[in-house]
A = this chain, B = another copy of it.
Amino acid sequence: MRFLLCLLALPALALAEPAFAQDAAAESALSGADTAWMLISTALVLLMTPALAFFYGGLVRSKNTLNTMMMSFISLGVAGVLWAVFGYSLAFGDGNKWIGDFSMAFLSGVGLEADGSIPSLLFMAFQGTFFIITAALISGAVVERMRFKAYLIFISLWGLLVYAPVCHWVWSGNAWLGDLGALDFAGGAVVHINAGVAAVVAALVLGARKDYGRQAIIPHNVPFVLLGAGLLWFGWFGFNGGSALAADGIAALALVNTMLAPAATLTMWTILDIGRTGKVTAVGAATAIVVGLVAVTPAAGFVSPISSVLIGAITALPCYFAIQWRARTRLDDSLDVFAAHGLGGIMGALLTGVFAESAWNGGSDGLLFGNPGQLGIQALSIVAVMAYSGLVTFVILKVVGLVTSLRPGIPHEGMGLDIVSHGEEAYSDGEGIVLLLDEDARSSAA
């Protein structure tokens, strides 16, 4: 649906005068209702990045809490600016089948004229929130052991060199994956598979934390994990529902599916937990919610509500066992970004090819509704995104590693990155912390 809409909308965009004028004619094509929904959807998706900071921040040890949270928060700044400067143009500029161009760099020509039924500026911002969170998602694989400055350089490059092209392929309306008919309602491939693969590569390039596999590394604040999961779910209604780009039946379908699929995943995860250990874990519940949300992301506006219940329930199985198994390997994808986002996204993308139903989405059918070919297209898009993301992420990290070291020294890793990289502690009672007055500060720095 979405990529079709983009398809229709983009020529308009490209033709837009570079003027900043509020063109009266264009304004008349705006729908207030659609604009209202996209305004709040944009706000909702932006909230997901702080939510992610809590989801991730609660899972690490307290000495790395702020570092982990800042890996998300900093994306709100750096990736936010980069999107306006180059990212949007690279992703949605006309360009060619593979990548956009610089025609809209510095938001040149992006104004209040209608793109579909909403101001094109608003479309830019909505897409920007996706860019921000995708970069932040990767951080879950490298927490507790990546130098913050290296991380900053990495996500900046990654956003422009990996996210923008992949987004262009699928959603720009004039690129190869979209043309093939790959279905990705709100970013199963663009966001989740993409980030999930980058995460695995980053975890491999950086290597495991020094304590990994030797000590128990336990979440320091599980309520924060639940808070993050709750706010992520809330924000995801904008992520999926807003991907309809209108306040219509498809938005309603996407939103309802975004409610039902995670419910089903959570229920299935509970059953698996009871079966395996008899204990329904809270970290498991938070994980299940995210997995269900990921799984329904590519499918949200394409499948029936009951299909989304099935997608949620089915996806629980591989992700549950992948997480169990991963912890027994030497792959320190610390917060299981691949098992949750990568694998969840793959399942979602494939199941979209199975359950898509033109009776609901007004266009595309999947395997179960007589169009087995769709599954092939979905598989192709998965493979393409995985290959490209994996390869370029690897190259970027190697290059960043030439410029600056990726990891702090072992003693610094032991002290925790909050102190080392941020000069702060997440929780402090102030005891034994002595104020440095100006003179002291100077002499102590000396």
Contacts and interface: CB of A to CB of B under 8 A. Distances in A.
Contacts of A237: 39-40, 42-43, 46
Contacts of A427: 220-223
Interface in A200-247: 213-224, 226-227, 229-231, 233-234, 237-238, 241, 246-247
Contacts of A234: 43, 46-47, 50
Contacts of A19: 359
Contacts of A149: 274
Kindly report how many copies of this chain are found in the complex they form together: 3
A121 B256 contact: yes
A372 to B, nearest CB: 20
Nearest to A37: B36
B35 A252 contact: yes
Nearest to A213: B435
Interface stretch (A177-185, A302-310, A403-411): A302-310
Interface in A56-88: 57, 61-62, 65-66, 69-70, 73-74, 76-78, 80-81, 84
Nearest to A255: B39
A290 interface: no
B20 A360 contact: yes
Contacts of A266: 73-74, 76-78, 80
Contacts of A309: 81, 84
Interface string A121-152: 11011001100000000000000000011001
Interface string A391-434: 00000000000000000000000000000011111111110011
10 contacts: A32-B33, A33-B247, A39-B241, A66-B223, A77-B270, A81-B263, A122-B255, A216-B434, A220-B430, A279-B423
Interface of A: 19-22, 27, 30-40, 42-44, 46-47, 49-51, 53-54, 57, 61-62, 65-66, 69-70, 73-74, 76-78, 80-81, 84, 106-107, 110-112, 118-119, 121-122, 124-125, 128-129, 148-149, 152, 213-224, 226-227, 229-231, 233-234, 237-238, 241, 246-249, 251-253, 255-256, 259-260, 262-267, 269-270, 274, 277, 279-283, 285-286, 288-289, 304-306, 309, 328, 357, 359-360, 362, 421-430, 433-436, 438
